[in-house]
Amino acid sequence: MKFSPDARPERWLGSLALAIISLISLGNVITRYVTGGSLAFTEEFSVFLLVVLTFAGASVALRRNGHIRIGLLERALPAGPRKLLILFQWLCGALVLGMIAWFGGKLTWEEYQWQSLSPGLGLPQWWYLAWLPLLAAAMLIRLTQQTRDRLSGRLEDEP
């Protein structure tokens, strides 16, 4: 049986975000065609859902080893140094994702304390921002899973 890593929660979240973007955009087009006006919430929600879709998709790609990586050096190294390089790659990715999660969480908390409202609909801004640290943390988990699978030999790069 072939090993097939999965990121089901992120796939569902990304699919749901894409479906909602499609529906509200279609609704906006129909409304604009029929009434000549536009629905006020569509742009704000579409941008927010596009960010959710991007982070959820990136998390799925991490788990499936689908991100672009130049593996020339990795394939040229013997097993020991290759594992060190994989760990170094994990460390760099974890550092970036950890910073996104940390500062995104900090920003979300500040927006919650300040009770900032979104410019279009007047909804609490932290509702939109809370997804940034959550999905960055999900990506960090998927990166760690991917690294563990690469180090154990269950996940290999294409030759």
- CA 36 to mean position of chain CA atoms: 35
DSSP string of 72-131?
A: HHHHHS-HHHHHHHHHHHHHHHHHHHHHHHHHHHHHHHHHHHHT-B-TTT--BHHHHHTH
> Which pair of structure tokens corresponds to residue 86?
């994989």
* Residue 2 within any structural domain of the chain: no
Average pLDDT over residues 90-106: 98
In a domain, 5, yes or no: no
Q: Does 159 have pLDDT greater than 50?
A: no
Note down the domain range covering 25: 14-152
Kindly state whether residue 127 falls inside one of the protein's structural domains.
Answer: yes
Does 86 fall in a domain?
yes
- Rounded to whole angstroms, how far apart are CA atoms 133 and 108? 8
Q: How far apart are CA 60 and CA 142, in angstroms?
A: 8
Q: Would 42 be classed as within a structural domain? A: yes
What pLDDT digit, counting tens, does each position of 28-49 carry?
999 999 998 888 889 899 999 9
**Does residue 3 lie within any of the structural domains?**
no
Count of domains observed in the chain? 1
Question: Is pLDDT of 2 > 70?
Answer: no
Rounding to the nearest 10 degrees, give the CA dihedral for residues 25, 29, 30, 32.
130
* Closest residue by Cα to residue 65 from 138, 146, 6: 146
Whether 146 is covered by a domain: the verdict is yes
Whether 61 is in a domain gets the answer yes
pLDDT of residue 145: 95
